[in-house]
Each structure stands twice: as C-alpha cells, then as structure tokens.
Chains A and B, each alone.
Chain A
C-alpha cells in the first residue's frame, strides 16, 4: 500500500512518532552532499524559467516585495555552507565505495539495495526537487501554514515510521531528510495547528485536518482477476494500459464534470498511479465532499469473486456515456486482443454469467465448448451473431446491449482504491521519492492528461529511470565534460540573460524532463493561486473575510 490512514485525531497511538533508534551517521559524503545543495537551490531560485515568470505574477501586488524577499531568503538560507560550494564533491563516491546495485536491471532483483542510505543521501542531495515540492504544497513563494502545518511521514531505512513531522521551510525539510535519509516519505494534510504541537494543544478538537490535495490511487493489483499478462507486483506495457485508460477517464471527469484544472498524475514507482488535484477548491473540500466525489467516480464494486460488479442505472449518466466512449477502443485492443480474458474456460464462464438470456447463454456455451481456445475477440463477436440468428425466442435486445455495456465497464472502467480519496487525513507517497522495491523514481506522468493525452499514452513505466541509473548519469556527465584540465567545463549553461549558471545535477540526467513537467504544473498552481488571491482581495473579502481578525462576529 502506498498510503495509510491516520488514526483518529483525538487519540493517536502512543508510539506513532517514535524517535529514530538508529539514525544513519552523517558521513563525510553526506556532509559534502548537503554543502553542494544550497548552490543548487540558489541557481534554481534565480534562473529557472518558472521562477522568472512567477515573479511577474506579483507585479500588481503589494506582497511583491515580500514574495521576492522571501524567495531570495529561502534561496540563500545557508550562506556559510554555500561559500564552500565552489568545488562540489563528486557524486561518484557511492560508486567508488560500493558498487551501485543493478543500474540496468528492470527493477526487482536488486530491491533491498535501493534503500541504501548512501544512495538515498545522494539522491536527496543532488536530485530531489525540494524547491518545487515546497512551492507546490505551499501554493506561494512565501512560506505559509499550508506548508508549515503540513504533515510529512517518513519511512526510515530500518522501517521505523515517523509521523506528524512538519517544517517551516523547504530548507528545513531538506535538512531533516538529509539527516534521516528516509527510504520514502508521504504527504499528509495541512492541519489547524503545527502537527508537532498536537499533544500540547489544550483541546483535542483544536488539532484537525484542514486541507489537502484531493488524491486518487490506481493500483494494478486491483486488476488481477482480469489481467492475464502479469500478476502481483509485476507489470508490463500491456497491463499498464489499464492505468492509461483509467487516467483518461478519471481526468476527463475531474475536469469536465467537476471543473478541476490542476491535476497531476504521478507514477507510483511500481504498478500504479496517483492523482494529485491541487485546485484551491479541491484542497479545501471537506470529507463529505471527498466522499461524494469518490462515490461519483466509483463504478466497479464488490470483490473479484462472483457477482455482478457493475450496477448502473439506465439511461446512463453522462459521465458513464463519456467513459464508455473513451473506453470502447481500449476494450477492443487491450481487453479482447492483449488480455484475451475470455479465452480460458473460467474467463468464458465469467462472461456467460454476465449475460442475461438463458437460451442465448446455452447456445454460446455449446458453441464455445466445441471450439476450445476460441479467442476473446471471436467470442465477443459470437454474442451478437448468435443473438441475431434467433436462438432465443425471449431475447430482449436492449437488455443484452446493456449487459454488454456493463461487461465493457467491468473490464475497463477505472478500479479506484477510493478509501484514500475520501478523507483528508490519508497520507500518500510524495512524488519524486524512490520506490524501494524497484528503485524507480515516482515521476509525474502528466500535469494535464486531457490536453496532453500523448503524455499519458506514451508513458512507459519500465523506462522510468532508477535512482542508481540517475546517479550514474550525473557521474557520466561529469567524466564526459571534464577536459584535460579538470572540472572547469562541468556543466555551465547560458540562461538567456547574458549570465551563465551552473547546470543542476538533475539537469544532467533523465530526470530532467520529469522535473520540468513538475515545475510547469506547479507554476500553473501558483499562477492560479495568485490570481485567486487578487480576485478575492478586489472583492473585499480577502482581507476582512473568514480569516481576518475582524471577521463578522455572527
């Protein structure tokens, strides 16, 4: 499971934030690593395209100064360290001291080693996009309670689970992550108070979740009853198509029906995907609304064992009409051709059990018994063909077509793990962490599945870089660009303003495209946030509204 539910807020288990029993010692490499990062942050803060545009957003805003200052302050928050960063240490240290696990492996065999603290330390130091993560969760350049009251939960390399961690700034989050070197971490809600203070609050009700991105979780294990190519943790491109079509269906509903605009789909690192909806209205949805949204999208119900799993009213709700139209081509290719689930006797029986007319079912069974190994494609075609011959006197054609629609939905409609979507307190694995089993980074699939369907369709989970590959790419870049004189040539780039800046480590790797995708998504979130803030203030409600000290009393 990539998420977990918080215990009831009123009575958290006693040891939910056990202190770290064996903190990984700070090694020389790690110190070196953390020294090099402020440079990264600094250059990042002043020269990436997203930040220049971002500053423009605040043109007409009195908080302009503050926004700039705070983002500058953030970028240079560790001046003593950055002074020594002229000579960043080589990232090749882990390779030198311990061979990197399976850089070319398809992900699996070398499992345990991906959580190697040295590798993770290098990853967090050089590659993890803390700054963008901060902007995303904070929705503004200036640190706010959206970030400081946000829960982070860490899984440490010794499997200890550390909940209710929080940080005033991205820099402090980064420092603590470099100290703890978690094998992965999760993001929880923004609370009414700082999660670290929750036990000191006088009233238990003073600490409750206030806001969180609306999230969805799709996991291929939920497809094991209809997926014939792989099972359990394994995936291939064929079954990844289930995720692809799910993303398209859910994304379309979220945008067209609910009007959300900021939906990022993230690869979960092994066999699924997460959606993060970052619209302000989505973040502020209460649990009742979340439950309603999840219910609206949930069509497949019940377990894999027997029973009709799709029960939808007729006429079909417009959401289902649209979903059917999106899914129909996938049913042909992914189900009937790739998965071929009705070829087996068991699969054929399942199909027959979902058809309404006993006489038709008997005729189909007879035909299929006589032709073992008949493909799903032909069996599916047999249904209408036999029905047309009039084998059944009682056949209700409309019912049959509805049953076929239901079957199509059962085999293609998104299977959502809706529990994670229903409550603000649920935690979900952060984007860009490393999946400990595969070593793959949880990269964004797309920031907008509806306008960039290609990004969804062409996403190949098996080509997502692993942490070790990425670190090797940093090193390879270095050796390729080092001239005979040493490191003078190491990755400088013109930033378009007649300045030259040093290339960031992630820019030297296959992570580049994904980080830029994340940046672009977050930029839009911030832009919308700034626009919304301005509009609220012009409307006279931003300053004296709900949060103002002088809000109306009654």
Chain B
C-alpha cells in the first residue's frame, strides 16, 4: 500500500498480543495467498502504486454496487450469481488453485488475490465513516464472499475453512455418543447419530438455530450439525467485518496522506450514489441518425431526467442555466455534433432573436464542446456529460428549473404522473418505484423503469445470448441509458456486433 499507510498499519499491529504478533510478523514478510478465498483478517503490507490503489478500488466497488442492485431488486441467489459472474471475471477475477498448472499458485493467481485483498481493504477505509455505509458494505461484502464460497472447489474450500482456525470444536466420538439422544432430539431431520457430525460453538453464533430450538445447547455452547457450516461462516464473516469496520471508523483518518483522501472521499461518495464515468464508447453509435432534427424522436430513448428537460424545452421554448448545461452535455454525449447542437438550441429557443442567441447562448454551447475556452478545455474537448451521481447530488433544482433527477427531485405524485405520461402504467412498477424512492434508491428506480420498458428486448438478448450479462449491468449514467435503450430497440437494425462492442 502507500508507504505512510503501511507504516500506520504496522504501528497498529504492534499492539496485538504476543501470539498474534508472531503470526502477523510471519505474514508481514510475504503474503502468499495459499487460498482463493480470503477472510481479510490481515491488512495488506506491501506497496502498490497510486493508480492501482484507485483502479482496484473502483473495480471492486463496481462489483459491490451490482450485487447491491441485485438484492434491491429481489433477484434470487441464482439470478444474482448469473448476473455477477461475468462482471467478476472482468473486474475482479479470482481463480482456484486448480486453475494453475499443477495446482501450484503462480503469479497470475497471486496477482488476482492481491487485487482482491487490497481492494477490500481500501474500500474498508472508504466505507467506515458512517454506520449506514458500514452496514451496507458488510452486507454486500458478505454476499460477494458467499458467491465465491459457493463456487469454490470443494477441497480447496475445506482447506480454507480449516485455515480459519475458528473456535469450533468437533464433537468427538465419546461426547457424541454420550449426548447422542439430545443431539438427535435437537437436530431436525437427523435420525441416526452416524448420519451427521456436530461441532460446538458459542450459541450466539447461531441465533436462528437457537430461536427455533433446532440445535442442542449446553452451558452456552451450541452443538451445530455440519450442514449448517456455510451459514455459520457467513455470519462469522459479517460479524468480524462489522467489528473491524467499527474499529476502522474510530481510528484517526488518513489525513497525513493528501494523495489518498480525495480518492477515498470519491469512493465514499460513489457508494452513496454510484458514479458512472462517462467514456466515449457510450457515445459511439455508428450509423445512428443523430442530428438536430431527430432529437424529438430520439427522446423516446432518454432517461426520465432528459425527457423532462426535453419536454420542458418544448413547452417553454426555453431552459434555465443548469438545465441547459445538463442537457447540452447529454446531447453531446449521445453523439450530437457541435453544429447540430447549435442548430438544435437555436430552433428550440423560438422566442429569442438570432442576435440574443449568438450573444448569450452560443458561446456556452461551443465551450461545452471544447470549441472555445482555455487550452485545457479545448484539449479535453469540453465537459463530460453528467453522471447520475452528479445530477443527484449537485445543484438541486429550484422553482422553474427542470434539471436534476425526477426520481429524487419530484414529489411522488408528480413523478408518478410523469411516468404514466411516458407510458409506464403497470401498477407493480409504479409501486416498486415508489418504494425505491422512499428508500432513496433513485438509480434503482430508474433501472426498474428501464427494465420494464425494455423487458421484451432484454429477454431476447439474454435468451439468444447475443449480449453478455456485463452489458446489462446497472445503469448509472444517463448516456448509458440512452445508448442501451437505442441498441435494444434497434436490435438487428444496427450494423452488427461492432456497434455495441464496448472495448
């Protein structure tokens, strides 16, 4: 990790007791990641570059955000696994030992495990700040761990579990025979002693089993059948992580390293409202008729925020400052050229003269495209389209303003009637949106609407396998919304695979 960071971690570690210290020192020298799975008990110790620090964290965050979105939308574990697998392969691969030649851990496996290890700890730093973040982080990390645990090779998984050195004691032959009657009476579904083995743990580790009286208890110890092991490991994972996050939150922040704070702050913010970085591939729709005269018909593919700006513009022949900015960047993002953009705005502002338009508006549009302005602006080709995060968190709209996110900034009644006006009229969807909004999950609401309005097309590309699951991840950028909508509605009409290839 970053140097000062490592020293800090090391300093903290000096206070653990002797037994642990010896262990920690041994690990400090080299983390060789003997197992694919990781309980993240030991913080990383070697240095990585600032770039990796940020990139790895962003990749993990992407996975966690998808997992959380799946759970918000009540996907089954199977659906979630199917959705996440390809994303994991892409952003956070983690191979079994058996994937390496002769089962010997090679550099590739080490690299994968290192990235997994580091990214987890970086996000801990970013998400320890509030109880809400800690709870969410522990929850999605546990889901990720479970996903991987269940796909782990049986033998490697056993070795991993043994390596955890849990305070779990196998109930030995003598004790098992002695308590046989009680064990059978307390463990539903087990008729004979030799059908099952039990291990002993503190009863507080298995509250559900205790609550439903499906485990034998003696002096505070629960006698748990082996088949409950998975859920116990998950509970243990969550408990330990929650405790560790609590400790992290109480430790002094990383103020000493100016380079890390902005990254961590950005990550934190991003988890609150996921940030979709805009990239040029979101614009690339070769051959699509994107020009000034076509915006009205293209607006059917716009997310609600842009539909709102578009219809307000059509109604008033005008948009206020932040609305113009949000909309111009978006239009630029869908691939509208500067020339067409100028034409579009000129025609839309029906009530003003050419003179006024040229004096008051034209420059800003050119500036947005990087056509004017300082060198930096020109080199960067102007501004990037706003992400959902930016729209959700910056400049809430005031009276008479139409920018922002309708899911966040409209009253629920106004939101509902606007959705109905755009054809979203199924009661379950509207109810789901209402619940999402109440829970402040605005982007989930927007994705819910997207999935419903494109349900036929989504089913088709899934069924015929023409789209990978990674291409149907949660939308966190208005331009991604547009592009995906456009592609789904024009299946087969576009010029083949190269159109939707992201890379």
Residue ID in chain A nearest B249 by CB atoms: A553
B207 and A288 within 8 A (CB): yes
**B210 near A: Cβ within 8 Å?**
yes
Kindly provide the distance from the CB of A534 to the nearest chain B CB, expressed in whole angstroms: 15
* Contact assessment for B210 and A293 in the assembled complex, using a CB-CB cutoff below 8 Å: yes
| B220, A553: Cβ atoms closer than 8 Å | no
Give the size range of A's interface with the partner.
35 or more
A205 to B203, CA, bound (A): 28
B211 to chain A, nearest CB (A): 4
Q: Which residue of chain B lies nearest to A543 when distances are taken between CB atoms in the complex?
A: B15
Shortest Cβ distance from residue B203 to the other chain A in the assembled complex, whole angstroms: 6
By beta carbon, the residue of chain B nearest A549 is B250
Known: A289-B204, A289-B207, A296-B211. Contact between A554 and B124, CB under 8 A? yes
- Nearest 5 A/B pairs, CB to CB: A259-B220, A540-B17, A295-B211, A292-B207, A257-B217
Q: A172 within 8 Å of B by Cβ? A: no
Give chain B's interface residues, CB within 8 Å of chain A. Answer: 8-9, 12-13, 15-18, 40, 43, 121, 124, 130-132, 182, 184-186, 188, 203-204, 207-208, 210-213, 216-221, 243-244, 247-248, 250-251
Neighbour of B12 across the interface among A317, A540, A546, A552, CB < 8 A: A552
Instruction: List B contacts of A8 (CB < 8 A).
Output: none
For A521-554 the 0/1 string (1 means CB < 8 A from B) is: 0000000000000000001110010101011111
What chain B residues lie within 8 Å of A550 (beta carbons)?
12, 15
Interface of B is mostly: helix
Q: Is A318 an interface residue (CB 8 A)?
A: yes
State A294–B213 Cα separation when bound (angstroms). Answer: 11
Could you name 11 residue pairs across A and B whose Cβ atoms are closer than 8 Å? A205-B130, A205-B131, A296-B211, A315-B185, A317-B185, A317-B216, A539-B17, A540-B16, A540-B17, A540-B18, A553-B251
Structural contact, A318 and B16, CB atoms closer than 8 A: no
> Which residue of A281, A318, A554 contacts B121 across the interface (Cβ within 8 Å)?
A554
CB-CB under 8 A for A544 and B9, given A554-B124, A554-B244: no
CB distance from B177 to the nearest CB of A (A): 16
Q: Which residues of A262-308 have CB atoms within 8 Å of chain B's CB atoms? A: 281, 285, 288-289, 291-296
Least CB distance from A312 to B in Å reads: 8
CA distance A291 to B208 in the complex (A): 9
A316 at interface by CB-CB < 8 Å:
yes
Write out, one digit per residue, whether chain A residues 124-137 have a CB within 8 A of any chain B CB (1) or not (0).
00000000000000
User: With A and B bound together, what is the CA distance between A463 and B332 in angstroms?
Assistant: 88
17 additional A-B pairs beyond A256-B218, A281-B220, A317-B213, beta carbons within 8 Å, are: A205-B131, A257-B219, A258-B203, A258-B217, A258-B219, A260-B220, A281-B204, A288-B207, A293-B211, A294-B211, A296-B211, A319-B213, A544-B17, A546-B243, A552-B12, A554-B9, A554-B12
* B40: min CB distance to chain A, Å: 8
Contacts of A546 in B (CB 8 A): 243, 247
Minimum CB–CB distance for B333 against chain A, Å: 38
Contacts of A236 in B (CB 8 A): none
Contact B210 A295 (CB under 8 A): yes
Hey, which chain A residues are within 8 Å of B12, CB to CB?
A: 550-554
B344 to chain A, nearest CB (A): 47
- Smallest Cβ distance from A223 to chain B, in angstroms? 23
Q: Which residue of A lies closest to B9 (CB)?
A: A553
Which of B16, B182, B217, B220 is A552 in contact with, Cβ under 8 Å?
A: B16
Q: Is B185 in contact with A285, judged by CB distance below 8 angstroms?
A: no
Find the A residue at minimum CB distance from B212: A295
Would you call B247 and A553 a contact (CB within 8 A)?
Answer: yes
A539 to B20, alpha carbons, bound, how many Å?
11
Bound CA–CA A257/B182 (angstroms)? 12
Question: B residues within 8 A CB of A315?
Answer: 184-185
**Once the chains are docked, how many angstroms separate the CA of A273 from the CA of B172?**
41
How far apart sit A288 and B206, CA to CA, in the bound complex (Å)?
10
Given A296-B213, A316-B185, A544 contacting B221 (CB threshold 8 A): no
Q: Chain A residues near B124 (CB, 8 Å)?
A: 554
Shortest beta-carbon distance from B46 to chain A in Å: 15
**Chain A residues within 8 Å of B210, by CB:** 292-293, 295-296
Closest to A320 in B: B213
Known: A258-B220, A553-B9, A554-B248. Is A313-B188 also a contact (CB below 8 A)? Answer: yes
| Contact A551–B15 (Cβ < 8 Å) | yes
A317 to B121, CA, bound (A): 43
Considering the complex, give the chain B residue whose CB is closest to the CB of A319: B213
Q: Beyond A258-B203, A540-B17, is A552–B247 a contact (Cβ under 8 Å)?
A: yes
In the complex, what's the smallest C-beta–C-beta distance from B138 to chain A, in angstroms? 13
A256 touches B204 (CB 8 A): no
Query: In the complex, which residues of chain A have a beta carbon less than 8 angstroms from the beta carbon of B207?
Result: 288-289, 291-292
Contacts of A291 in B (CB 8 A): 207, 211
- Whether the Cβ atoms of A318 and B17 lie closer than 8 Å is no
- The answer to whether B185 touches A292, judged by C-beta atoms less than 8 angstroms apart, is no
A494 on the B face (CB < 8 A): no
**Is A257 touching B17 in the complex (CB atoms < 8 A)?**
no
Q: How far is the CA of A308 from the CA of B330 in the complex (A)?
A: 65
- In the complex, whether A23 has a CB less than 8 A from a CB of chain B is no
Q: A554 to B8: give the CA distance in the assembly, Å.
A: 11
Contact A552 B185 (CB under 8 A): no
- Give, as a whole number of angstroms, the nearest-CB distance from A449 to chain B: 17
Residue numbers in B under 8 Å from A553 (CB-CB): 8-9, 12, 43, 247-248, 251
Q: How far is the CB of A122 from chain B (nearest CB, A)?
A: 44
Tell me whether B204 and A285 are in contact (CB under 8 A). yes
Closest to B208 in A: A292
| Alpha-carbon distance A295/B208, docked complex (angstroms) | 9
Q: Known contacts A205-B130, A293-B210, A313-B188; is A551 also within 8 Å of B247 by CB?
A: yes
Q: How far is the CA of A289 from the CA of B239 in the complex (A)?
A: 13
A294 neighbours in B (Cβ, 8 Å): 211
> How long is the Cα–Cα vector from A293 to B204 in the complex, in angstroms?
9
Asked whether, in the complex, the Cβ of A544 is within 8 Å of the Cβ of B216, the reply is no
Residues of the A chain whose Cβ atoms lie less than 8 Å from the Cβ of B40:
554
The answer to whether A318 touches B211, judged by C-beta atoms less than 8 angstroms apart, is no
- How far is A551 from B16 in the complex, measured between Cα atoms in Å? 8
Residue of A nearest to B247 (CB): A551
A321 to B40: give the CA distance in the assembly, Å.
Answer: 43
In whole angstroms, how far apart are the Cα atoms of A554 and B43 in the complex?
A: 7
Q: A101 to B210, alpha carbons, bound, how many Å?
A: 49
Kindly report which residue of chain A lies nearest to residue B42, judged by CB atoms: A554
Identify which of B18, B211, B219, B243 gathers the most chain A CB atoms within 10 Å of its CB: B211
A552 B203 Cβ-Cβ under 8 A: no
A185 to B: closest C-beta gap in Å = 31
- B211's partner among A258, A292, A321 (CB-CB below 8 A) is A292
Mark A86-116 against chain B: 1 for CB-CB distance below 8 A, else 0: 0000000000000000000000000000000
| A551 and B250 contact, Cβ closer than 8 Å, known pairs A285-B204, A292-B207, A313-B188 | yes
Give the complex CA separation of A294 and B211 in angstroms.
7
Q: How far is the CA of A546 from the CA of B221 in the complex (A)?
A: 23
The interface residues of chain B lying within 8 Å CB-to-CB of A292 are 207-208, 210-211
For the complex formed, measure the closest distance between the CB of B148 and the CB atoms of chain A, giving whole angstroms: 20
Q: Which residue in chain B gives the minimum CB-CB distance to A290? A: B207
Residues of A within 8 A of B16 (CB): 540, 544, 552
Instruction: Note all chain B residues with C-beta closer than 8 A to A321.
Output: 185
